[in-house]
A and B are shown apart, each in its own frame.
Chain A
Amino acid sequence: MIQLAWLIPVIPLAAFAAIIFFGPKLKSNAAYVAIAAIVSSFLISAGIGYEWFFVHHAQAAANFYADWIPTGTSVLRIGFGVDSLTIMMLFVVTIVSMMVQIFSIGYMHGDPRYPRFFAYLSLFTAAMLSLIIANTILLMYISWELVGLTSYLLIGFWFEKPEAMRAAKKAFLVTRVGDVGFFLGLLLLYLNTGTVELAGIFKQVELLKIPQVHIPALGFVASIILGIMAYGLAGAVLKGTKRLPVAIFAGLAIFGAAFMLIPHGPVQMSLAAVASLLLFWGAVGKSAQFPLHVWLPDAMQGPTPVSALIHAATMVAAGVYLVARMYPLFHVDMTALNVVAVVGAFTAVFAATMGIVMNDIKQVLAYSTISQLGYMMMGLGVGGYTAGLFHLMTHAYFKANLFLGSGSVIHGTGTQDMRQMGGLYKKMPYTFWTFVIATAALAGLPGFAGFFSKDEILLAAYHWHGGKMVFYAGVAGAFLTAFYMTRLLAMTFFGEPKDKEIHAHESSKVMVIPLMVLASLSILAGYVGLPWNNIFSHYISFGHGEHEFSWAVVAMGTGAGLFGIAFASLIWIWPVFRFASLKPALGWVQTLLANKYYMDDIYDIVIIRPLMISTRAMFAFDRWVIDYVIVNGTGWITLQLSTLWAIFDRYVVDGIVNLVGELTKRGGYALRYVQTGIVQQYALILVVCVVLIGWYFVLLR
Chain B
Amino acid sequence: MPPVTWYLYVSAALFALGLFGIMTRRNAIAMLMSIELMLNAANINLVAFSGYLRGHTLVGQIFALFVIAIAAAESAVGLAIIINVYRTVKHIDADDINLMKW
Direct contact of A and B (CB under 8 A): yes
The interface bits of chain A over 677-701 (1 if a CB of B lies within 8 angstroms of the residue's CB, else 0) are 1111001100100000000000000
| A676 located at the interface, meaning its Cβ lies under 8 Å from any Cβ of chain B in the complex | yes
| A672 located at the interface, meaning its Cβ lies under 8 Å from any Cβ of chain B in the complex | yes
* Chain B contacts for A679, CB-based, 8 A: 31, 94
- Please state if A678 and B95 are interface contacts (CB–CB under 8 Å): yes
| B42 located at the interface, meaning its Cβ lies under 8 Å from any Cβ of chain A in the complex | no
* Chain A contacts for B95, CB-based, 8 A: 678, 680
Tell which of B23, B25, B97, B102 touches A684, judged by Cβ atoms closer than 8 Å.
B23
A to B CB contacts below 8 Å, 12 in the list? A676-B101, A677-B97, A677-B100, A677-B101, A677-B102, A678-B95, A678-B98, A680-B23, A680-B94, A683-B22, A683-B23, A687-B19
| Bound CA–CA A680/B22 (angstroms) | 7
| B24 located at the interface, meaning its Cβ lies under 8 Å from any Cβ of chain A in the complex | yes
- Please state if A678 and B94 are interface contacts (CB–CB under 8 Å): yes
| Bound CA–CA A684/B94 (angstroms) | 14
| Bound CA–CA A677/B98 (angstroms) | 5
| A533 located at the interface, meaning its Cβ lies under 8 Å from any Cβ of chain B in the complex | no
Work out how many contacts link A and B, with CB atoms closer than 8 A.
Answer: 27
Within 151-197 of A, Cβ neighbours of B (below 8 Å) are at none
* Chain A contacts for B23, CB-based, 8 A: 680, 683-684, 687
| Bound CA–CA A683/B19 (angstroms) | 9
8 tightest Cβ-Cβ pairs between the two chains A and B: A677-B98, A677-B101, A680-B23, A679-B94, A684-B23, A678-B95, A683-B22, A683-B23
Q: Which residues of B pack against A, CB within 8 Å?
A: 19, 22-25, 31, 94-95, 97-98, 100-102
| A73 located at the interface, meaning its Cβ lies under 8 Å from any Cβ of chain B in the complex | no
Give the nearest-CB partner of B28 in chain A: A679
| Bound CA–CA A683/B20 (angstroms) | 10
| Bound CA–CA A471/B31 (angstroms) | 139
| Bound CA–CA A193/B52 (angstroms) | 112
- Please state if B24 and A680 are interface contacts (CB–CB under 8 Å): yes
* Chain B contacts for A677, CB-based, 8 A: 97-98, 100-102
| Bound CA–CA A687/B22 (angstroms) | 11
Contact A675-B94, Cβ < 8 Å, known A683-B22, A683-B23, A687-B19: no
| Bound CA–CA A676/B94 (angstroms) | 12
* Chain A contacts for B31, CB-based, 8 A: 679
Give the nearest-CB partner of A681 in chain B: B23
Min Cβ gap B36→A in Å is: 15
- Please state if A672 and B102 are interface contacts (CB–CB under 8 Å): yes
* Chain B contacts for A684, CB-based, 8 A: 23
Min Cβ gap B56→A in Å is: 28
* Chain B contacts for A687, CB-based, 8 A: 19, 23
